[in-house]
């Protein structure tokens, strides 16, 4: 079975779904191939913070109604360290804010839009393979025991770190940059009210901690943990005790505890694969880069990538220009590396690195002292956190 569609999008998460919707808005036909079922995709607990630019983009595409009604606007953040804390006001420093609105909710909105658009989303697509990306690309996959083929002009690889897209680029043409961090994040969800209406990041000699939320009765908390930790090592009682030990007393005293409804341990890494375009294959999102979650950049980088890719495809199909396609990789990588730098810096600032010893801890305190008292430093922090322009 062979069909032809101008753009094949491999991966139906937020990056792939958003690209498909944006292409439809601009009159460009596409199809989305997703390995998992819709139910599985919607069950994944992922990032929950949207930058100002991401929010503005979703609104411009008619995807902002639920986000604006249900999301939490955050005008600032609290950083705690050495028994004290301070707040950085995003609005005062940049005129912008961020919004807590879970990736699962973004995905629900995107699925609803794609259904309304009539865009083809083929789930349970197995054994996806991308062919002839330098000349006349096509994609094959298995579904229901039958091999199918789609010929196309371009392939957008939005299938994540473990997908097939990045590996399709010849190894000799790829270069990767990676930093693995010597710890993980233990995170829980609990059906409890958030301890604060804004995020609280904590640097502590025992390790990093983060207080965030999904909505008014669903809190998300994290603590830094050893890489060899298991969930069995961390019953709820131990988690709550450790979280409170790393937070300022007033914050710890205000936490409402409860049973965890989801618990996971995630390793942290910084990873970039270059280039993000090879022939007629374009990478976007986690297929090309991973950042530690400290700076809340992962989902926002994916949104930025497909925004630039959509502009390039519109320029090609509507105006007959290949200029933006040719410069896609360089354009997005310049932005990606800025986000990688900020995420790395925040991770270095707030986590306990065993190899750094007491000297490293004092350097972190000095850096936080400077950040707490410098308008220029707070402005730079806020500019990066609320997001660079799209």
* Mean pLDDT of the 277-301 span: 97
- pTM recorded for the entire structure: 0.95
List Cα–Cα distances, 242 to 208, 221, 239, 256, 325, in angstroms: 10, 11, 5, 14, 49
* Mean pLDDT of the 242-270 span: 96
Percent of the chain at pLDDT above 90?
92
| DSSP annotation of 197 | S
Residue-wise pLDDT tens digits, 337-346: 999 999 999 9
- pLDDT at residue 214 in the model: 83
Tokens at 146, concatenated: 């039958």
Strand order in the sheet with 49-50: 49-50, 98-100, 72-74
- pLDDT at residue 37 in the model: 86
| DSSP annotation of 77 | E
- Alpha-carbon distance 232 to 336, whole Å? 36
Q: With a cut of 90, say whether residue 335 has pLDDT above it.
A: yes
Q: With a cut of 70, say whether residue 72 has pLDDT above it.
A: yes
* Mean pLDDT of the 324-329 span: 98
- Alpha-carbon distance 26 to 316, whole Å? 12
Confidence bin at 109 (pLDDT 50/70/90): very high
- Alpha-carbon distance 304 to 173, whole Å? 24
* Mean pLDDT of the 119-148 span: 95
Within 10 angstroms of residue 253's Cβ, the number of other Cβ atoms is: 10
Q: With a cut of 80, say whether residue 2 has pLDDT above it.
A: no
- pLDDT at residue 28 in the model: 98
Ranges of each domain in the chain: 2-48+102-174+275-346, 181-268+353-386
Residue positions annotated with a catalytic role: 74, 201, 293, 297, 385
Residue-wise pLDDT tens digits, 21-46: 999 999 999 999 999 988 888 877 66
- pLDDT at residue 389 in the model: 87
- pLDDT at residue 38 in the model: 87
The CATH number of domain 2-48+102-174+275-346 is 3.50.50.60: yes
Q: With a cut of 80, say whether residue 240 has pLDDT above it.
A: yes
- pLDDT at residue 158 in the model: 98
- pLDDT at residue 87 in the model: 98
Nearest to 236 by CA among 268, 262, 210, 214: 262
Residue-wise pLDDT tens digits, 157-209: 999 999 999 999 999 999 999 999 999 999 999 999 999 999 999 999 999 99
The CATH number of domain 181-268+353-386 is 3.30.9.10: yes
The residue with tokens 């599985």 is 40
Q: Are 36 and 123 in contact (CB under 8 A)?
A: yes
- pLDDT at residue 247 in the model: 97
Indicate the average pLDDT of the chain.
95
- How far is C-alpha 223 from the chain's CA centre? 19
Q: Residue 68 belongs to what H/E stretch?
A: helix 65-70
Same fold, 2-48+102-174+275-346 and 181-268+353-386: no
Q: With a cut of 80, say whether residue 126 has pLDDT above it.
A: yes
């Amino acid at each position: 079975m062979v069909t032809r569609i101008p753009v094949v999008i491999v991966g139906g998460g937020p990056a792939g779904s958003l690209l498909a919707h944006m292409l439809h808005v601009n009159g460009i036909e596409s199809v989305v191939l997703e390995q998992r079922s819709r139910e599985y995709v919607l069950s994944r607990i992922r990032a929950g913070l949207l930058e100002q630019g991401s929010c503005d983009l979703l609104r411009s595409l008619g995807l902002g109604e639920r986000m604006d009604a249900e999301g939490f606007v955050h005008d600032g953040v609290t950083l705690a360290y050495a028994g004290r804390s301070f707040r950085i006001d995003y609005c005062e420093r940049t005129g912008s804010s961020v919004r807590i609105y879970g990736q699962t909710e973004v995905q629900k909105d995107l699925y609803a839009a794609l259904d309304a658009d009539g865009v083809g989303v083929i789930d349970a697509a197995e054994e996806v393979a991308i062919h002839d990306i330098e000349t006349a690309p096509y994609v094959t996959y298995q579904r229901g025991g039958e091999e199918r083929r789609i010929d196309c002009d371009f392939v957008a690889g939005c299938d994540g770190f473990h997908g097939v897209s990045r590996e399709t680029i010849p190894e000799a043409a790829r270069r990767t940059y990676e930093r693995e961090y010597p710890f993980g994040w233990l995170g829980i969800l609990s059906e409890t009210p958030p301890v604060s209406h804004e995020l609280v990041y904590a640097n502590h000699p025992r390790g990093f901690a983060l207080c965030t939320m999904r909505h008014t009765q669903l809190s998300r908390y994290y603590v830094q943990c050893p890489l060899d930790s298991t969930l069995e090592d961390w019953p709820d009682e131990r988690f709550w005790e450790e979280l409170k030990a790393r937070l300022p007393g007033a914050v710890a005293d205000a936490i409402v505890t409860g049973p965890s409804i989801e618990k996971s341990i995630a390793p942290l890494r910084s990873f970039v694969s270059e280039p993000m375009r090879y022939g007629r294959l374009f990478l976007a999102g986690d297929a090309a880069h991973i950042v530690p979650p400290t700076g809340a950049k992962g989902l926002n980088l994916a949104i930025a990538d497909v925004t630039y890719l959509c502009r390039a495809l519109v320029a090609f199909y509507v105006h007959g220009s290949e200029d933006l396609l040719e410069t896609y990789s360089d354009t997005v990588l310049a932005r990606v590396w800025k986000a990688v730098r900020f995420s790395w810096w925040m991770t270095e600032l707030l986590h306990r690195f065993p190899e750094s010893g007491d000297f490293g801890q004092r350097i972190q305190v000095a850096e936080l002292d400077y950040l707490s008292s410098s308008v220029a430093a707070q402005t730079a922090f806020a500019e990066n956190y609320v997001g660079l322009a799209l």
